[in-house]
Amino acid sequence: MNKHKTYFNWSSGKDSALALYHLLQDNRYSVDELITTVNSHFNRVSMHGLRKELLIAQTNALNIPASLIELPEMPSMEVYEQKMIDTVLRLKKDGFTHTAFGDIFLEDLRVYRENQLAKQNIKAVFPLWKRDTKALLNEFLNLGFKTIIVCANSKYFDEDFVGTVIDENFIKNLPEGVDPCGENGEFHTFCFDGPIFKTPIKFKGLSRI
């Protein structure tokens, strides 16, 4: 059986790590490249705010070729879409037919991604789609993954929350209304260990040692 040549949209967080884990277990797909958008002004992962050097240490530990999409400090939608189109065209030329995301809900975002990719005949895959987020987080921990909070919404958490390692107590003590996986933007994470990594990523104060 020929596997679909697939690139994975790697965000550096827990949902991304669990989705990649499931994709790597699926013999329909061959994950041959990771793609991450980075804010070139701050040298950090877009949205998550993780330092680029930690991202690179992370993708090295995954042992999958990785590419960065460098975005300016405040990219317009036109700039963002053109950067993505350029990347997809390059990947399509290299034989990629599928791509995957760690999204769980966010219907509008899924439709947008699928519509944009369909223009280039790239099929989008969502391994975690519509699964219960508490069950997903428990599965993530039971598999041996480890992740730490790198940014959080001040509406729900104080600044001391950043740097919290997610465990069973984290799930029990979440404020009311906060999704266990932070799917509404309540918090973002950095996954630093687990079954998909060759070695744990060493860091201190969220800066690489």
Give the pLDDT score at 121.
97
Closest CA relative to residue 102, chosen from 31, 164, 1: 31
* Annotated domain spans of the chain: 4-125, 133-200
Copy the structure tokens of residue 190. Answer: 């950095």
| DSSP 8-state class, residue 76 | -
Report the pLDDT averaged over residues 165-174.
Answer: 92
Average model confidence (pLDDT) for the chain? 92
pTM of the model: 0.93
Alpha helices in 63-132 (DSSP H): 77-93, 107-118
Q: Which residues contact 31 (CB under 8 A, 6 or more apart)?
A: 6, 7, 8, 20, 23, 24, 64, 100
- What is 4-125's CATH superfamily? HUPs (3.40.50.620)
Report the pLDDT averaged over residues 98-112.
Answer: 95
Give the pLDDT score at 54.
93
Give the pLDDT score at 209.
37
Report the pLDDT averaged over residues 181-202.
Answer: 95
For 26-74, the pLDDT digits (tens) are 999 999 999 999 988 677 887 777 899 999 999 999 999 999 999 988 8
The CA distance from 49 to 53, in Å, is: 12
Residues 150 and 192 sit within 8 Å (Cβ to Cβ): no
Give the pLDDT score at 88.
96
Give the pLDDT score at 207.
47
